[in-house]
Structure 1
Amino acid sequence: MKKWYQLDIERVEQKLHVVTSKGLTQKQVEKRRKEFGPNVLEGSKKVSKGLIFLKQFQDFMVLVLLAATLIAGMLGEYIDAIAIMVIVLINGFIGYFQEQKAENSLEKLKELSAPMANVLREGKWEKIASKDVVTGDVVRVYSGDRIPADIRIVQSNGMETEESALTGESLPVAKHATAISSDDLDPQDQLNMGFKGTMVTRGHAIGIVVGTGMHTVMGQIASLMASTKKVPTPLERKLAELGKILIFLALMLTLLVVIVGIYQGHPVYQMFLAGVSLAVAAIPEGLPAIVTVALSLGVQRMIRKRAIVRKLSAVETLGCASVICSDKTGTMTENQMTVKSLFLNGKNLSVTGDGYDVIGDYYVQERKIDRHFPNLEMMLLYGMLCNNASLFVRKGKYYVDGDPTDGALIVAARKLGLSMELAESFRIIKEIPFDSDRKRMSIILEDENKRRFLITKGAPEVLLPRSSYVMEANGRTLLKHANKTNIEAAIDHMAEKALRTIAISMKPLSKNASLDADFLEKDMTFIGLFGMMDPPRKEVKGAIAECQAAGIKTVMITGDHAKTAKAIAENLNLLPNDGKVIDGQQLNRMSVDELEAVIDDVYVFARVTPAHKLKIVQAFQAKGHVVAMTGDGINDAPAIKASDIGISMGISGTDVTKEASSLILMDDNFATIKAAINEGRNIYENIRKFIRYLLASNVGEILVMLFAMLLALPLPLVPVQILWVNLVTDGLPAMALGLDQAEKDVMRRGPRNPREGVFSRGLGFKIVSRGIVIGIITLIAFILTYDHSAHLVHGQTVAFATLVMAQLIHVFDCRCEQSIFDRNPFENMYLVLSVLSSIILLLIVIYWQPLQPIFHTTFLSGRDWLLILGLSAIPTFLFGFTKK
């Protein structure tokens, strides 16, 4: 039986029941998906839910507590043992659900950031998740894409792929569409095949899918592609280290409480159980889980704001960003390029109409012209032929599939009445794809009379030196100095009007002419210039202003002419009066050190190549900046990877760029970067809030017990009460703090120093001072209501209620960096509801008689509550008017 690479295209179509020009029908797609399953590789087995649940009890302190519970049961303290066991189980369930939520969020992220595929179905090209590709699908791949499945290539336009994932060889492999007769070829020798997971490094191609998922070459070696372990973020690592220090301090203090208690004459068993309960309550074992959930919830909010986080570390780094290096086209602008002006026959022509709508007219000065104007039809036809985009209509609106610049050229031709059918009468001999370093694209065509010619489009400064002739109204003439001066003046004129310029040239060819690019792309005939505009997005100006207020510098990076870039930057209020504009030629002459010396004054980089982007990132980083860099092309990947926050385009970005990035913009919009930074800052602040709340509460719990032991008092809290506080009062409000909205001035503060510690900006003082006062007022409540052993339960109940209420009032204080009175408490209804639920649960364990013996509580009077509430409010009101 012949292999796919041995079959010609017609036989492949027959075997898979597909026509390359039409693609599969929806019915065929559904049938094949059921038959072969999704186009994914099987990863490592997921940990079962049961094991995740059991993992919640492997913590050393929880195991000690379970052992203590067993001892309590053996000593006949059945009520205490059962109560502690129930609390431990509830705690385990909460930890399990937190971990599941975080895991589900991460799985959702993987789905959202998965590669996309261009497929032809029922005659229409559409973009789908590559996991939905089925056998027989007709797919189209471009430079920078990962091939979504194993494909038999049916049309190759200079396509080369990098197959190191399969072969270990990083050199690109040129692909073609011709059948190969040889038997038993290894994948690297199957030059008419594209393989799942390999990368297109040059050109583009169309192919038919012959294998998906585990039925691909990559699937055969899937065992080598085991899923990577989750890497903790820098913040999670920092908090893990902090946790170890806190565990040591908590254990030391707990041990001190136990020793002092035994010395004071308390029973050893009672102090042992109290000590273990206090250690469990004091050690913030829920902190990593809450951080993960806070990060994942923040990531979900970012998704709703059209930003997909691929690496969780980016969330915290966003708050440190001090420079955003942003592409202009599509990010700061609408990405609906429109030809507004032409330079032809030495004259300036204007074009009416906006966007991709094909309605518009051509004018010379005030006079309307038609297709008979000299060379106009030829120039527009050549722009339509040297092109990889297509124009289509959906619900009465025009859209472009492909590069917006190519789309603009098609729209310009359609405005003159030229149809795509006219372009189909030419046969493509060879295409030399656009390359960001070459800054041009060429195509060799043959017309109906078998005459061959070359069309090249690209940057004017690249095409002009390669042209020896110029097309005038009376025909072709030698390109003289006067012609060059006129063309350069036209380029400057268009640039001053914020128009991007594209030049077009041609060259007649003989049938035996060399097809080598260096030979072809010289001695050409310069035809004219297209001046096109991509209007700025309406929301970008405001987003740039907000970034400036947040101490974040916005830098525009573009391939446009310096004057065009400057005009747009001024329109967006991005370029200050003393701001500098540097172009690619200047960058070439500058070392990184020289660029570093002036970079703080530069706001626009024009006529840059992707290689320049890396230089720009390095120069900013050398000056101590935290850099966010956007990109979409394959050559942007090194700069994106080198930046602190790599940002790729979700719509126009290649799969390679997305994989190198930390953040994907689903709408390719600069305003989304600003929204992501806002969210990133808020997530970090929310993490600080619940660290502040949890640790201040824990300090209060330890100190009330320690002070009581030092004063030779009975235990103000029993073990089950300590555990209850840890479960109900600490857990729910801390989670709700993770959902808090951003403070109003979060985007009016400067970027956070990446070396800043968690306890910076006075957080350490706030934790210790509030914790000490909470401990003192709880002890005062106990002393005031306990006078002898007969009233011990009453005193313990008052101390228990005071500790709970002080923490629940303090949680609102934790929402504010400054004063509690700066924010409306009802802004965060999750927090209000969690506090109310904690109060209701407190009242139940105090007033519901069956629970009183379990929690060692008794009925409290109105007078008791006045005392409790008065004392509980002291910490917040004592510090609420201060800014420390």
Structure 2
Amino acid sequence: MTVRGASTGQTGRVDSLAATVASDPSLRDPADVAAELNVDPAVGLSSAEAARRLREDGPNELRAKPPVPLWRRLLAQFQHPLIYLLLGAVAISLIAWAAEGHEGVPIDATVIAAVVVLNAVLGLIQENRAETAVAALKSMTEAASTVLRDGELRTVPSHELVRGDILVLNEGDAVGADARLFSASALRVQEASLTGESEAVTKDPSTLPRRVPLGDRRGMVYKGTAVAQGVGRAVVTATGMATEMGAIAGLLEATEEEPSPLQREIAGVSRLLGITVVAIAVVVMVVTAAINDVDTVSEFVTVLLLGVSLAVAAVPEGLPAILSVVLAIGVQRMAARNAVVKQLHSVETLGSATVIASDKTGTLTKNEMTIQRIRTASGEIELTGVGYRPDGTALHDGGEITDPALATEASMVVAGGALANNAALYCRDDQWEIQGDPTEAAFLVAAHKLADATERTQRYHREGEIPFTSQRKMMSVFCRADDDRPALIAKGAPDVLLGRCAAMQVGDDVVPLDDARRERALADVDDLSRQAFRTLAVAYRRVDEAEVRDGVDEALEHDLIYLGVVGIIDPPRDEAADAIADARRAGIRVLMITGDHPGTAVRIAEDLGIVEAGASAITGQQLDELSGRELIDATAETSVYARVAPQHKLRIVDALQSQGHIVAMTGDGVNDAPALKSADIGVAMGITGTEVTKEAAKMVLGDDNFATIVAAVRQGRIIFDNIKKFVRYLLSSNMGEVFTVFFGVVFAGFIGLTAGPGEAVVVPLLATQILWINLVTDSTPALAMGVDPEIDDVMMRPPRRLTDRIIDRQMWTGILLIGLVMAAVTLLTMDMFLPGGLIEGSDSPEVARTAGFTTLVFAQLFNTFNSRSETTSAFHRLFSNPWLWGAVALGALAQIAVVQLPLLQAAFGTTGLDFAHWAAAIAMASAVLWFDELRKVVLRRRYSGRVLS
């Protein structure tokens, strides 16, 4: 077949045969399926044809729920018990206005209705911001697939797969679409999501003789499944809703997410406040009615509106919405730092991590794998150059290689590693890039540096593969040379490979691998490991045709001829040591878990500061020998684990969690998925991680960098601190309103508060003024605090325990004290301007109430700076958050407008103030700031040496 990829103008369109292919491609020969879809399996579709098919068929996505119309989402903003109270207040006010003869404009009803509508609009805006942020995060964690297009391997988002794409499958990949296999090597696919079968299914590209159930279609792979082992290639036959997953899409529609512990706590606090404040409002109404001898409809309506407004204003009903917005914005900030948190509520756990168990390669190191040493029977060769640019030379003892036996052996080692390989090396725009595993790519780079090695690889053609698995720790390929001589070439962990070898290559000769030579080979491995090299060995053997008559499998991996071992260097990341120091300063223990040699692991761990000099590692074999109790004791002391398999990671996680630790665990392979799911924070590698691992994890590293994990922990702590800030602010400010009204009614006579002209009931604040305070001071300052930068050094305190409440006793004390101070300064301001009372004044009740109203608003604006920390002064990093200053300025301007503009004066019952009144109100309001500064001094002395958020 020579078709490169159909163009728009080609005849024999895919559409006419799509139904035939889609009906059951497992019953058709894969070559026929590819021909019907007009694609050459060796080349793939052209980019232009793939784009045309994507436009024609649409994205490879399951049909989502239709979006909720804007009008319904706006209506949902009114579905809140406290909003019902406000709407009831509007109705009562209109009835009273009508009963009094429709005189003038129903000011109270109009203002309350306007506040309700404005509150709904703000809620809708916040909801849209949260949804937009979450949608952006989903796009960052979208699955990707490897395809063959224009004759090259490419990684594309899975939603861009089209019919006819050649899907390249490797261990750990999530299958992006339904596809007909045309090649497979030890391919096993986990299909539990479709069939419910827990065991992985072995795949075989052969054509089935008859139609069979879905779980028995060995020649097919399906969207939504995962490659558990092996490799394969397949042609995509169905995408989107045409897939088997699409057929049952109705059963897979997203369910409502369970609220996180943080959301449940916020909701619980809101309910508690609602019940408490409604009770207080009832008491206020009863006391107000009793004190003022309420006996008319107008007076009754005034008292009722006061109580309803107080209940609504005192409960932070917007708290859940603000929480979602702040979490979403914070997580987007994390994503900008290459840490993509897939679920918002995982931020809670991040700030509580006590252990980070990290892979070494690519996470603590640069993952720029470079072969620098080759050890064979005849000696050692050094390869110069680093990274993936194939520039460098081969040296022996610092000079040219003069020993032909050594040159031959080194060439065979590198050529063997380049053949037993699934990576690819490309040069685009003078930039060398790799596709696949960096360790395998290192062999391809080395082959370019050794001309003989390149020539050797070009003489062989691969015909089969026994893939690498974490259990086997090796891979083999079956190759045939130009002269038709078949061979099995293997590479893997040196100790594993040597166990399968019976001979050794010495120059052009093959000699028995006796005990002395075996010990010498193992000594070479240990020596390279002590120098912090990662080691891989290469071996081969000739194969008889009869041995492969029944296929290529593990039975061939015996009596191998040992070629030698390479030393691969992967230097530590420059920033990793600083990040580890930050983690340890924050009370977080760092573990290294790697499949490398113990000597290599300990050396890197020492260089990074994970362990002190002289420390030792525990190997996977040693872990297998430990009992449950012994494992717990070992994990409490040991910080380096080497030669471990993925199942050991799960045991380590469980042992740490049994000690009460909150564990963040990194992983990249498909077998790491159970450990990542079990960990409190599973962290997948975004570059080298498999799609299955990314799906199992709660966080994905865009740069595979350990420093990014620590930065994410810092950001998680900052986000949690910011949540505490705006919760502290909202609750203390709202308590200030409650206490002002309650004590203002109870102690009206003491402060000289009497009814103004046309008022029958004595109240410190009008219902519309209370609602105005709630509107001006609740939303924008709280949101601004949600993006506050770090005030205290969050990495100077130990991890937060998951049992710690967001609002503890210390915080509740501060909330109540600040609320009482707000009420006191507000009522004292009114007393200053009222005749009689504790302080003699001479102004009218309207002026005094307006001054008190203004004092309470500015007290809450001052409280924004108080609330940024429980113990740190408000003047520390005072100007670090321009958004907060903007919110405060907006609130101040709004208050000036409501006091000085005639139109708003009529709506909110205010009167203009002169400079002296403004100065007095603001000065009295600032008492909230000075009181909290004194309180923080006391707290700092009490908790000396301990940082509070």
TM class by shorter chain equals: over 0.9
Name the CA distance, whole Å, in 2 between partners of 1:542 and 1:735. 32
Select which of 803, 819, 833 maps to 1:785: 833
Name the CA distance, whole Å, in 1 between partners of 2:552 and 2:367. 33
Q: Work out whether 1:732 is the aligned partner of 2:780.
A: yes
Q: Find the counterpart in structure 2 of residue 365 from structure 1.
A: 397
| Pairwise CA distance, 1:420 | 6.3
Select which of 84, 95, 101 maps to 1:74: 95
Q: AA paired with 2:821? A: V
Q: Work out whether 1:247 is the aligned partner of 2:274.
A: yes
Q: Find the counterpart in structure 2 of residue 335 from structure 1.
A: 367
Name the CA distance, whole Å, in 2 between partners of 1:518 and 1:36. 42
Superposed counterparts of 1:799-810, under 5 Å: 799-810=852-863
Superposed counterparts of 1:762-777, under 5 Å: 762-777=810-825
Name the CA distance, whole Å, in 2 between partners of 1:171 and 1:603. 34
* Structure 1 pair 30–466 and aligned structure 2 pair: CA distance change class (3 A): closer
Q: AA paired with 1:748? A: M
Superposed counterparts of 1:677-692, under 5 Å: 677-692=713-728
Q: Find the counterpart in structure 2 of residue 310 from structure 1.
A: 342
For the residue of structure 1 that corresponds to 2:796, the secondary structure is coil
Select which of 291, 301, 312 maps to 1:269: 301
Name the CA distance, whole Å, in 2 between partners of 1:258 and 1:371. 102
Q: Find the counterpart in structure 1 of residue 150 from structure 2.
A: 122
Show CA shifts across 1:702-755 (max 9, x none): 001111121144211100010011011122111110010112411221111111
Q: AA paired with 1:240? A: A
* Structure 1 pair 790–818 and aligned structure 2 pair: CA distance change class (3 A): closer
Q: Work out whether 1:231 is the aligned partner of 2:258.
A: yes
Name the CA distance, whole Å, in 2 between partners of 1:434 and 1:175. 17
Q: Work out whether 1:31 is the aligned partner of 2:86.
A: no
Select which of 653, 663, 673 maps to 1:627: 663
| Pairwise CA distance, 1:371 | 10
Q: Find the counterpart in structure 2 of residue 868 from structure 1.
A: 921
Q: Work out whether 1:258 is the aligned partner of 2:285.
A: yes
Kept in 1, the 8 Å contact 2:854–2:895? The answer is yes
Q: Find the counterpart in structure 1 of residue 542 from structure 2.
A: 508
Q: AA paired with 1:168? A: G
Name the CA distance, whole Å, in 2 between partners of 1:495 and 1:519. 30
Kept in 2, the 8 Å contact 1:716–1:795? The answer is no
Show CA shifts across 1:610-648 (max 9, x none): 011011111111221111000011100111111111100
Q: Work out whether 1:455 is the aligned partner of 2:489.
A: yes
Q: Find the counterpart in structure 2 of residue 151 from structure 1.
A: 179
For the residue of structure 1 that corresponds to 2:510, the secondary structure is strand
* Structure 1 pair 236–580 and aligned structure 2 pair: CA distance change class (3 A): farther
**Stretch of structure 1 that moved more, 429-438 or 6-15:** 6-15
Kept in 2, the 8 Å contact 1:371–1:416? The answer is no
Q: Find the counterpart in structure 1 of residue 194 from structure 2.
A: 166
Q: Find the counterpart in structure 1 of residue 637 from structure 2.
A: 601
Show CA shifts across 1:49-68 (max 9, x none): 22221111111111111111
* Structure 1 pair 263–334 and aligned structure 2 pair: CA distance change class (3 A): same
| Pairwise CA distance, 1:96 | 0.9
| Pairwise CA distance, 1:520 | 2.1
Instruction: Give aligned-pair identity as a percent.
Output: 38
Q: Work out whether 1:718 is the aligned partner of 2:766.
A: yes
Kept in 1, the 8 Å contact 2:868–2:874? The answer is no
TM (norm. structure 2) is 0.90
Q: Work out whether 1:64 is the aligned partner of 2:85.
A: yes
Show CA shifts across 1:673-729 (max 9, x none): 111111100110000001110010111100011111211442111000100110111
Q: Find the counterpart in structure 1 of residue 893 from structure 2.
A: 840
5+ residue gaps, structure 1:
none
Q: Find the counterpart in structure 2 of residue 193 from structure 1.
A: 220
Show CA shifts across 1:165-224 (max 9, x none): 2222233222233344x3434433332221111111111112221111011121112111
Show CA shifts across 1:572-601 (max 9, x none): 122124754222222121123212113232
Q: Work out whether 1:352 is the aligned partner of 2:408.
A: no
Q: Find the counterpart in structure 1 of residue 570 from structure 2.
A: 534
For the residue of structure 2 that corresponds to 1:170, the secondary structure is coil
Select which of 18, 41, 45 maps to 2:62: 41
Name the CA distance, whole Å, in 1 between partners of 2:934 and 2:824. 20
Kept in 2, the 8 Å contact 1:819–1:881? The answer is no
Q: AA paired with 2:735? A: V
Q: AA paired with 2:741? A: M
For the residue of structure 1 that corresponds to 2:579, the secondary structure is helix
For the residue of structure 2 that corresponds to 1:368, the secondary structure is coil
5+ residue gaps, structure 2:
1-19, 98-104, 754-761, 837-841, 940-949
| Pairwise CA distance, 1:518 | 4.8
Select which of 818, 825, 828 maps to 2:871: 818
Show CA shifts across 1:503-561 (max 9, x none): 11112221112657453222222111011011112221111111111111111111110
Q: Work out whether 1:571 is the aligned partner of 2:607.
A: yes
For the residue of structure 1 that corresponds to 2:617, the secondary structure is strand
Name the CA distance, whole Å, in 2 between partners of 1:152 and 1:422. 34
Name the CA distance, whole Å, in 2 between partners of 1:72 and 1:101. 35
* CA RMSD between the two structures: 1.9
| Pairwise CA distance, 1:323 | 0.7
Superposed counterparts of 1:398-477, under 5 Å: 398-417=432-451, 423=457, 425-473=459-507, 475-477=509-511
Q: Find the counterpart in structure 2 of residue 100 from structure 1.
A: 128
Q: Find the counterpart in structure 2 of residue 646 from structure 1.
A: 682
For the residue of structure 1 that corresponds to 2:808, the secondary structure is coil
Q: Find the counterpart in structure 2 of residue 18 from structure 1.
A: 39
TM (norm. structure 1) is 0.97
Show CA shifts across 1:112-159 (max 9, x none): 212111122222222111011111222211111111111122222221
Q: Find the counterpart in structure 2 of residue 282 from structure 1.
A: 314
Q: AA paired with 2:868? A: R
**Stretch of structure 1 that moved more, 718-727 or 7-16:** 7-16
Q: AA paired with 1:711? A: F
Q: AA paired with 2:311? A: A
Kept in 1, the 8 Å contact 2:745–2:764? The answer is no
Q: Work out whether 1:558 is the aligned partner of 2:611.
A: no
Name the CA distance, whole Å, in 1 between partners of 2:879 and 2:403. 66
| Pairwise CA distance, 1:830 | 0.5
| Pairwise CA distance, 1:419 | 7.2
Show CA shifts across 1:285-341 (max 9, x none): 111111111100101101111111112221011110111001111111111111111
* Structure 1 pair 25–706 and aligned structure 2 pair: CA distance change class (3 A): same
Q: Find the counterpart in structure 2 of residue 91 from structure 1.
A: 119
Kept in 1, the 8 Å contact 2:112–2:768? The answer is yes
**Stretch of structure 1 that moved more, 219-228 or 447-456:** 447-456
Name the CA distance, whole Å, in 1 between partners of 2:327 and 2:377. 60
Kept in 2, the 8 Å contact 1:505–1:524? The answer is yes
Name the CA distance, whole Å, in 2 between partners of 1:474 and 1:709. 104
**Stretch of structure 1 that moved more, 380-389 or 416-425:** 416-425
| Pairwise CA distance, 1:848 | 0.6
Show CA shifts across 1:772-801 (max 9, x none): 101111111112223389822111101110
